[in-house]
């Protein structure tokens, strides 16, 4: 596939959605064909799963949570991501499978080998060309959400304990350390513009090498 897959990962309040929008605007300006999507969601089935995952009042086990994410992910890969990549488009994603390793694996204590096996099945082995990890501490992330008046709107996963989110951050950093060729780690306490300049430079370098000038 000649397309290019970019995923954005990180803990709460790191600014993933903002950077996805910034990169999307840049691609429009450069007349590079792209689509933007997110997890969980991106399809009708995925949006129904998203509602359960983020807003259910019932207790959901880590295993159930992971399998629901995987079901949404499989539908998204089949219906949206693969067709776009096959058409040569850039695909921007607000979260992908690394979130399962971090959230349900490192933070939730599911077996990482089990996550890898199910993920490979759900995605048909699809790998991002670039994964941007916006690294931020739990305290800084919550402070940023407070400034944006978003603390009152925290979903089921965002509302989990500080201990959980600290394990989550360490998990993301472990993932990045294991796959340094794929990951770009950006410290999210920088300004929005500073972060975007790093993301843009890394994207253009990798995109040009894969897809040509």
Looking at residue 54, what is its pLDDT?
82
- Whether the pTM exceeds 0.85: the reply is yes
Q: Which of the 8 DSSP states describes residue 182?
A: T
CA neighbor of 65 nearest in space, from 176, 164, 133: 164
- For domain 4-211, which CATH number applies: 3.40.50.720, 3.40.50.300, 3.50.50.60, 3.20.20.140? 3.40.50.300
Q: Where are the alpha helices (DSSP H) in 77-191?
A: 82-86, 98-100, 112-123, 138-147, 162-178
Backbone angles phi, psi at 6, to 5 degrees: -115, 125
Give Cα 43 to chain centroid, integer Å: 16
Helix, strand, coil share of the chain (percent; to 5): 60, 15, 30
Pairing of strands 90-94, 34-38: parallel
Separation of alpha carbons 35 and 90, rounded Å:
6
Looking at residue 147, what is its pLDDT?
67
Answer whether 40's CB lies under 8 Å from 46's CB.
yes
Looking at residue 139, what is its pLDDT?
85
Cross-strand bridge partners of residue 186: 134
Q: What is the pLDDT along the chain (213 residues), one digit of tens a residue?
A: 589 999 999 988 888 999 999 999 999 999 999 999 999 899 999 999 999 988 888 888 889 989 999 999 999 999 999 999 999 999 999 999 999 999 999 999 899 999 999 999 999 999 999 999 999 988 888 787 666 655 455 666 677 778 888 999 999 999 999 999 999 999 998 999 999 999 999 999 999 999 875
Looking at residue 1, what is its pLDDT?
57
Q: Which of the 8 DSSP states describes residue 180?
A: T
């Amino acid at each position: 596939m000649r397309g290019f897959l970019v995923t954005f990962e990180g803990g709460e309040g790191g600014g993933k959605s903002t950077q996805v929008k910034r990169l999307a605007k840049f691609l429009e300006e450069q007349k590079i064909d792209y689509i933007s999507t997110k997890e969980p969601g991106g399809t009708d089935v995925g949006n129904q799963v998203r509602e359960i995952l983020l807003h259910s009042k019932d207790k959901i086990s880590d295993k159930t949570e992971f399998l629901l994410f995987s079901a949404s992910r499989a539908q998204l890969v089949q219906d949206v991501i693969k067709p776009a990549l096959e058409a040569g488009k850039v695909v921007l994603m607000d979260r992908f499978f690394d979130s399962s390793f971090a959230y349900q694996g490192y933070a939730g204590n599911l077996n990482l080998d089990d996550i890898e096996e199910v993920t490979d099945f759900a995605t048909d082995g699809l790998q991002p060309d670039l994964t941007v990890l916006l690294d931020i501490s739990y305290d800084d992330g919550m402070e940023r959400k407070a400034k944006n008046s978003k603390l009152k709107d925290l979903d089921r996963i965002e509302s989990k304990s500080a201990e959980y989110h600290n394990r989550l951050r360490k998990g993301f950093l472990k993932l990045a350390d294991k796959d340094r060729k794929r990951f770009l780690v950006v410290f999210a306490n920088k300004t929005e513009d500073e972060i975007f300049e790093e993301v843009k430079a890394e994207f253009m370098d990798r995109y040009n090498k894969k897809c040509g000038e």
